[in-house]
Each structure stands twice: as structure tokens, then as C-alpha cells.
């Protein structure tokens, strides 16, 4: 039987071997992340242009001609290219702009990420880019709350609104406790996810990027690239952390008057969503349609929360509904109340 000193030496060697292995794995992970990002950056280009504002330089992608100008606001973790199927269809008859919020996608970082800050930066971006209003604002998911914050801050600039599977400002208070806990878990884990991205774990597992599967190849690759980078993930966490302020900004928009409004819901729940939560979401979507005397609530059969923008067939149906709303916006709007 080996003596105590021999056991100690063996334990030290074992511990050193484990530490060296861990260090080696970290180095390999960092190299995997850096090489992967470099290859992505060479293969994927920003579709729009970078616009300098008094704040951050931001990425704006505008196509098509014809007023009113349509502004596409992505949801959580989103960026301009999530609209890759929808934007070309809308641009057949209208000027359409998608963009990356500060700190997401190709845009530079900023400090505040609440709804009011997002609205003011978007207004500044459009002014700096020479994209005058009036605007039709279309928001997906959390983007719906950002859209309403913009309407509350700049009501005279908005002639119609489209809300696609929108976040309701009161949903955390109205959904069951397990849904609120799930939301809190996402917010709590994002800083950890951002840290893990440095060693390639998020790139390897791709939990957020694959939500965008179905987009054109280059745009899907951009999704995988952005959602595996620390900056994009840190900004996404900042947007979740600003949830209460964003929802307060959205609630400030109490009515759309007689402006055309369409609220589009999915017919199928996302994986893991309970029937109760799905039904409550649909109910809240119907309520949002009541913001306007010209509001409509439409469901797209077979679609889920993400496939509305990632699957070509669903995106085509969505685009047709949005085109109808844009056409209605060319009629004189009624007053908007704050």
C-alpha cells in the first residue's frame, strides 16, 4: 500500500492533469469561437448601411419605394435580417426599412435599452438616414411593445400599426406563475449564456440561432453568428432587464384612434408552451386589436410564433395581411390619443 506522501503526489498530479485539461478545453473553445466568428464575418455581410447618429452608429436596411414608409421592428434577440422573407414582399409596393437595435446585429452598443430609449433612437436613426414619415410600424413579439412605445412618443408620425404575435404589456401579471418563472429564468441565465459564448459553447449548441431556421441561408447564418456572440447576448439581457420600463412605455399608448391596425396570431404554440398560456396569449392579442376602431385580429393556420417570419409560406400570408394594412394607411387616418 502506498504511503501518505505517495498518495499526496498522485493527487497533485491528478489535479494538475485535470487543470491542464480544463485549460486546454478553454483554449480550444476560444479558438473555435474566434475562428467561427471570423469565418462568419467573411461569409455574411450587412444587407443595409451603417448610419451615424448623435448616439450609436446603427444598421438600417431600406428597400422599395412608395409611402407611407414601413418600419419593421424585430422581437427579442432579433435584428433586421429576421424579416428576410417579409421585407421583399412588402417592398414591392412600399418603402420598407428594417434595422438592428443598438447593441444587436450590426449596430453599435448603447447604454439604455428600455422602450422609450429604443423609440428615440429609432426616430433619430430615421432622421439621420433621410427616411421621412409618416410611418407604418410593424413589430414582432417584444417588437410590438417597442412599436407602441414609439406611437406613444411620436403619435403624429404613425399612420398604421401591425403587431405580429405581440407582447402584451400586462402578460407577466396575467399569465400563470410558471410562465412568469420561465421568463425570469431566461433573464437570469442570459448573462451566463453571454459568458459561455466566449468559449464557443453557445456556437456549438446554437440554442437561439436555430429558432431562426427557415430563413434564407445567409440570414440564418447571421442569426447563428449574432446569437452566439457576447455583445448580442448582453444586449438581449439588457432588454429583458428593462422589461418593466418598456411595458410602461407601451401602456402609454392607450389608443390608436382610427388608424389601421392588424394583430396577427399564430395558430400553433411553440414547443413547451402550455395550452393555458397559449389561449391567454391569443386572448390578449384580441384585446390589442381593440386599440383601434379599425383594428383586426387574424390567425394564420399552421404557424407558430417564429414560423410567421421564418417559414416562406407563413411569411407570405403575413406579408399579404400587412400589405392590406399598409394600403388602408393611405387613407386619411383618425386622431391618435395618448
Query: Mean pLDDT, to the nearest integer, of 26-37?
Result: 78
Query: Mean pLDDT, to the nearest integer, of 52-79?
Result: 97
50-to-60, 132, 159 alpha-carbon distances in Å: 6, 17, 26
Cα–Cα distance between 193 and 198 in angstroms, integer?
9
49-329: CATH number: 3.40.50.1820
Nearest to 123 by CA among 109, 137, 139: 137
Query: Mean pLDDT, to the nearest integer, of 91-115?
Result: 97
pLDDT 10s digits, 317-336: 999 999 999 999 987 654 44
Cα–Cα distance between 66 and 188 in angstroms, integer?
43
What H or E segment, with its residue span, contains residue 26?
Answer: helix 4-43
Query: Mean pLDDT, to the nearest integer, of 156-168?
Result: 98
Count of beta carbons in the 10 Å neighbourhood of residue 274: 13
- Cβ neighbors of 171 (< 8 A, separation 6 or more) are 280, 281, 284
Pair 152, 120: CB distance under 8 Å:
no
240 pLDDT higher than 60: yes
> Which region among 60-69, 79-88, 180-189, 309-318 has the lowest average model confidence (pLDDT)?
180-189
Count of beta carbons in the 10 Å neighbourhood of residue 82: 28
210 pLDDT higher than 80: yes
Nearest to 317 by CA among 293, 332, 301: 301
Exposure b/e, 282-300, CB count within 10 A at least 16 = b? bebbeebbebbebbebeeb
pLDDT the model gives residue 332:
63
Pair 115, 250: CB distance under 8 Å:
yes
296-to-117, 158, 287, 288, 290 alpha-carbon distances in Å: 29, 17, 10, 9, 8
- For residues 319, 320, 322, 324, the Cα torsion angle rounded to the nearest 10 degrees is 160
Cα–Cα distance between 281 and 163 in angstroms, integer?
13
The pTM (predicted TM-score) of the whole model is 0.91
47 pLDDT higher than 80: yes
Domain boundaries, the chain: 49-329
Amino acid at each position: 500500500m502506498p504511503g501518505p506522501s505517495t498518495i499526496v503526489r498522485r493527487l497533485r498530479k491528478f489535479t494538475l492533469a485535470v487543470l491542464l485539461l480544463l485549460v486546454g478545453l478553454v483554449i480550444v473553445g476560444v479558438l473555435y469561437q474566434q475562428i467561427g466568428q471570423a469565418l462568419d464575418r467573411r461569409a455574411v455581410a450587412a444587407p443595409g448601411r451603417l448610419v451615424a447618429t448623435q448616439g450609436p452608429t446603427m444598421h438600417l436596411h431600406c428597400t422599395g419605394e412608395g409611402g407611407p414608409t414601413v418600419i419593421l421592428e424585430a422581437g427579442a434577440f432579433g435584428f433586421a435580417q429576421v424579416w428576410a422573407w417579409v421585407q421583399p414582399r412588402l417592398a414591392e409596393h412600399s418603402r420598407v426599412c428594417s434595422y438592428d437595435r443598438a447593441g444587436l446585429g450590426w449596430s453599435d452598443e448603447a447604454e439604455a435599452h428600455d422602450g422609450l430609449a429604443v423609440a428615440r433612437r429609432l426616430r433619430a436613426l430615421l432622421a439621420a438616414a433621410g427616411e421621412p414619415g409618416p410611418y407604418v410600424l410593424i413589430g414582432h413579439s417584444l417588437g410590438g411593445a417597442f412599436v407602441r412605445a414609439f406611437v406613444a412618443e411620436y403619435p403624429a408620425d404613425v399612420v398604421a400599426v401591425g403587431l405580429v404575435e405581440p407582447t402584451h404589456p400586462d402578460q407577466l401579471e396575467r399569465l400563470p406563475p410558471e410562465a412568469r418563472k420561465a421568463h425570469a429564468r431566461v433573464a437570469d441565465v442570459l448573462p451566463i449564456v453571454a459568458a459561455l459564448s466566449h468559449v464557443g459553447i453557445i456556437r456549438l449548441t446554437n440554442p437561439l440561432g436555430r429558432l431562426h431556421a427557415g430563413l434564407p441561408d445567409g440570414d440564418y447564418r447571421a442569426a447563428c453568428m449574432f446569437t452566439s456572440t457576447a455583445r448580442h447576448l448582453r444586449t438581449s439581457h439588457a432588454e429583458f432587464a428593462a422589461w418593466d420600463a418598456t411595458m410602461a412605455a407601451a401602456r402609454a399608448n392607450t389608443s390608436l384612434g382610427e388608424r389601421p391596425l392588424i394583430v396577427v396570431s399564430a395558430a400553433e404554440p411553440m414547443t413547451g408552451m402550455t395550452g393555458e398560456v397559449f389561449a391567454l396569449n391569443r386572448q390578449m392579442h384580441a384585446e390589442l386589436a381593440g386599440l383601434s376602431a379599425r383594428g383586426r385580429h387574424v390567425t394564420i393556420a399552421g404557424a407558430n410564433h417564429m414560423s410567421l417570419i421564418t417559414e416562406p409560406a407563413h411569411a407570405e400570408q403575413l406579408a399579404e395581411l400587412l400589405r392590406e394594412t399598409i394600403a388602408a394607411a393611405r387613407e386619411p387616418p383618425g386622431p391618435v390619443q395618448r
